[in-house]
């Protein structure tokens, strides 16, 4: 009976989340501001980065200042591979094979002529592999040590990626890359910034976010989640209980980097391009700030807060005080509700319902 | 065969030699106690055996296989579990979850399997929970399962830590001062529990200050002083050893030791 109930609840969560997405869509439509969906979609992609960070910070107790760089790594890899013209190898035998495997494709170029570039799916997988490899290389040495070595290593990594992106013509230097083709995920689902596809893309982003949320929630409520929480609480005791702490921290870090890169790839295909600001150190600090303000070990709080704040920021509501608002927000949240924005609301509801229940009992 | 063999173990911190030339064996099914005054190196020795510290010299074998220098989780996986001098529970978790962590080495679903709720993963989770509840019952805390670990009294924390260590299904259990901070009744319960644990086939090695507990429970006692073993044997033998008497009652040890050497 209890099991049936928990299984029902488990099944209800995606439905509930889907409902929230639909309601939000309807609200925006009733306001007649459908163009809001564009920024909302982008904000949802940013939120996926913060979800992964929540696992690293809230559950494994590590700070990563490289999430922006991983986001950019995903985005730039996809952007470069799908826009760079490989026509020079047109005649090579291996190019024929790769075209046959749908890894490369020839399509009309932006400025006429024909361009041979990688397909979005193939570049997505390349981006994933590159990111995982890079996260492993950074995480392996820094997570064997106790202390905040990961924060330092990722900060350095972020700065390096930013410099590379700004300095290389392959990545479009300060202009970034434009003209990234749309990505057909299959069927009617195409990631593209075209106006008729705005609603589709909003739901694709929400769908991806829901999938990630469910995956992470399942993970947290399992032996792996308990192990991570144990590492956060008392690393030594966790290790003595048979948990390979270094390996677990590394896996969580790689997972978070992959989530950032996934968001980066989707984001890049959605907006049709990516610029060096995505790789900036301040971007990474913002992800950390959002994660901290959302309560860290609180997936819901982190998600809601980052969608909301990123949406407002992307709409330009904070004007030129954008970064200052992030700082203020962080200070305010940590002062008043360090466990995330939802905890006080939850407490309030509980107090209210228990007062009601208490009143009824007295009445009887 | 000896379950645990410690041979010539030495560990120093900077210039301070905490443990030196320590050798002893623990045979399967025994309750062995390590005693000694404060600063004798008992906890250091425990940390070396459980892998928290690496020995500078010497070797440690568990079931004939060398375990010195391995990381703690590897040693735990080989069947050695421990408790800490200051109960180190995971305070953000419930009592039940704390004990469930102990099942880690006996369960197998990893990141992918857990995140995707792979078939069989839910069953494994239920098995983990069931086993953990069983261990809580064993230490008499079944009704505290859902309480937060941080809300427990000190004596209860010790018991939860013991349940967590038992949940790993160890062959050798290291208990670092299990009776410290317990009241008389809790100490009696602990003594009974340790005998029951031994009865279930788990070998116990403990560091303890409470002499009456040690003398009534232990099959063998090893006495450490200034990081070196000075006596070992049955509780009765150790109790009557003049060197042991002198270090516990103060005074003539240097003299006695010198007298013996000459």
**Full set of structural domains in chain B with CATH:** 8-79+170-261 (3.40.50.300)
Q: What is the pLDDT of residue B57?
A: 92
Q: What is the pLDDT of residue A189?
A: 85
C-alpha pair distances (Å), A99 with each of A78, A90, A94, A129: 17, 10, 8, 20
What are the residues whose beta carbons fall under 8 Å from the beta carbon of B209, sequence distance 6 or more? B35, B177, B179, B180
The confidence band for A68, taking pLDDT boundaries of 50, 70 and 90, is very high
The confidence band for A361, taking pLDDT boundaries of 50, 70 and 90, is very low
Checking if the pLDDT of A246 tops 80, the result is yes
Q: What is the pLDDT of residue A5?
A: 61
Q: Where are the domains of chain A?
A: 16-88+127-363
| Model-wide pTM > 0.95 | no
Cα(A246)–Cα(A150) distance, rounded to whole angstroms?
A: 12
Q: Which of the residue ranges A9-23, A242-256, A287-301, A324-338 has the most confident prediction, judged by mean pLDDT? A: A242-256
Q: What is the pLDDT of residue A35?
A: 85
Q: What is the pLDDT of residue A356?
A: 66
Q: What is the pLDDT of residue A18?
A: 84
Percent of chain A with pLDDT over 70: 93
Q: What is the pLDDT of residue A362?
A: 43
Mean pLDDT rounded to a whole number for chain A: 84
Query: Token pair 């005054």 is at which residue?
Result: B37
What are the average pLDDT values for consecutive 10-residue runs of chain B, which has 262 residues? 89 89 92 89 91 92 91 93 90 92 90 86 90 91 89 90 93 91 88 92 90 89 90 88 80 48 39
- Residues within 8 A of B (CB atoms), A 254-293 only: 255
**Rg of the Cα trace of chain A?**
22
ipTM: 0.87
Cα(A122)–Cα(A114) distance, rounded to whole angstroms?
A: 19
**Helix-strand-coil split of chain B, %, nearest 5:** 45, 25, 30
Angle between helix A299-314 and A322-336 (nearest 10): 150
In chain A, what residues touch B109 (CB-CB under 8 Å)? 222-224
Which is more confidently placed, A326 or A208?
Answer: A208
What is the DSSP-derived secondary structure letter of residue A84? S
Q: Do B73 and A244 touch (CB under 8 A)?
A: yes
Q: What is the pLDDT of residue B250?
A: 67
Which tokens go with B67?
């375990």
Q: What is the pLDDT of residue A8?
A: 62
Strand partners of residue A105: A117
Q: What is the pLDDT of residue A175?
A: 83
Q: What is the pLDDT of residue A92?
A: 77
In a 3-state reduction of DSSP, which class is residue B218?
Answer: coil
Strand partners of residue B59: B7
Closest chain A C-alpha to B246 CA, distance in angstroms: 36
Alpha helix stretches (DSSP H) within B50-120: 72-77, 95-101, 111-115
Q: What is the pLDDT of residue A322?
A: 81
Checking if the pLDDT of A364 tops 60, the result is no
Q: Within an 8 Å CB–CB cutoff, is residue A236 touching chain B?
A: yes
Q: Are strands B80-82 and B57-62 parallel, antiparallel or unpaired?
A: unpaired
The predicted model gives A155-178 an average pLDDT of 87
Cα(B119)–Cα(B19) distance, rounded to whole angstroms?
A: 50
Q: Do B97 and A236 touch (CB under 8 A)?
A: no
Q: What is the pLDDT of residue A200?
A: 87
> Which of B47, B67, B70, B73 is best to mutate for the A interface (most A CBs within 10 A)?
B73
Q: What is the pLDDT of residue A325?
A: 83
Which of A270, A259, A264, A83 lies closest to A183, judged by CA?
A270
Which of B233, B231, B227 lies closest to B48, judged by CA?
B227
Nearest CA in chain B to A234: B90
Q: Do A241 and B105 touch (CB under 8 A)?
A: yes
Q: How many CB atoms lie within 10 A of CB B255?
A: 10
The predicted model gives A207-223 an average pLDDT of 91
**Helix-strand-coil split of chain A, %, nearest 5:** 75, 5, 20
């Amino acid at each position: 009976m209890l099991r049936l109930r928990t299984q029902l609840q488990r099944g209800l969560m995606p439905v509930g989340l889907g409902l929230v997405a639909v309601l939000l869509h309807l609200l925006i439509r009733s306001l007649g501001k459908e163009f809001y969906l564009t920024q909302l979609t982008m904000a949802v992609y940013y939120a996926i980065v913060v979800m992964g960070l929540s696992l690293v910070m809230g559950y494994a107790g590590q700070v990563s200042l490289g999430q922006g760089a991983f986001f950019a790594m995903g985005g730039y890899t996809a952007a470069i591979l799908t826009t760079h013209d490989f026509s020079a190898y047109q005649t090579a035998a291996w190019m024929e094979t790769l075209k046959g495997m749908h890894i490369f494709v020839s399509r009309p170029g932006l400025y006429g002529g024909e361009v041979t570039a990688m397909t979005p799916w193939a570049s997505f997988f390349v981006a994933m592999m590159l990111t995982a490899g890079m996260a492993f290389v950074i995480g392996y040495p820094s997570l064997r040590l106790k202390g905040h070595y990961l924060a330092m290593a990722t900060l350095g990594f972020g700065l390096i990626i930013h410099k590379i992106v700004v300095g290389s013509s392959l990545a479009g230097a300060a202009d970034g890359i434009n003209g990234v083709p749309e990505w057909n995920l299959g069927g009617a689902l195409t990631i593209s910034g075209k106006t008729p596809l705005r609603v589709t893309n909003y739901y694709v982003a929400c769908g991806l976010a829901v999938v990630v949320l469910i995956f992470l929630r399942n993970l947290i409520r399992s032996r792996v989640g308990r192990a991570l929480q144990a590492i956060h609480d008392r690393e030594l005791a966790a290790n003595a209980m048979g948990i390979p702490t270094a390996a677990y921290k590394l896996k969580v870090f790689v997972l978070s980097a992959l989530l950032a890169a996934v968001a980066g790839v989707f984001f890049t295909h959605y907006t049709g391009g990516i610029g060096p600001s995505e790789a900036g150190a301040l971007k990474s600090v913002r992800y950390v700030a959002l994660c901290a303000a959302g309560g860290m070990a609180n997936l819901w709080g982190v998600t809601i807060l980052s969608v909301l704040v990123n949406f407002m920021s992307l709409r330009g509501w904070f004007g030129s005080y954008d970064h200052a608002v992030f700082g203020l927000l962080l200070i305010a949240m940590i002062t008043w509700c360090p466990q995330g924005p939802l905890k006080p609301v939850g407490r309030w509801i509980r107090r209210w319902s228990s007062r009601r229940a208490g009143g009824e009992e007295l009445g009887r | 065969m000896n379950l645990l063999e410690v041979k010539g173990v030495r560990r120093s911190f900077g210039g301070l030699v905490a443990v030196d030339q320590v050798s002893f064996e623990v045979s399967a099914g025994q309750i062995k106690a390590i005693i000694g005054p404060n600063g004798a190196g008992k906890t250091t020795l425990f940390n070396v055996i459980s892998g928290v510290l690496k020995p500078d010299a010497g070797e440690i074998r568990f079931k004939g296989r060398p375990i010195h220098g391995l990381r703690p989780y590897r040693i735990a996986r080989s069947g050695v579990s421990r408790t800490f001098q200051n109960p180190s529970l995971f305070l953000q978790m419930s009592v039940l979850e704390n004990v469930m962590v102990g099942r880690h080495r006996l369960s197998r679903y990893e990141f992918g399997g857990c995140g995707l709720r792979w078939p069989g993963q839910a069953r494994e989770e239920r098995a983990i929970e069931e086993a953990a509840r069983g261990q809580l019952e064993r230490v008499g805390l079944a009704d505290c399962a859902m309480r937060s670990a941080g809300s427990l009294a000190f004596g209860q924390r010790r018991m939860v830590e013991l349940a967590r260590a038992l949940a790993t299904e160890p062959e050798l259990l290291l208990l670092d001062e299990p009776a410290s901070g317990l009241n008389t009744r809790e100490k009696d319960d602990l003594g009974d529990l340790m005998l029951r644990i031994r009865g279930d086939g788990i070998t116990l090695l403990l560091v303890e200050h409470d002499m009456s507990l040690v003398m009534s429970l232990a099959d063998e006692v090893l006495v450490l002083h200034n990081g070196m073993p000075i006596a070992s044997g049955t509780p009765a033998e150790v109790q009557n050893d003049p060197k042991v008497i002198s270090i516990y009652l103060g005074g003539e040890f240097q003299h006695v030791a010198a007298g013996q050497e000459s």
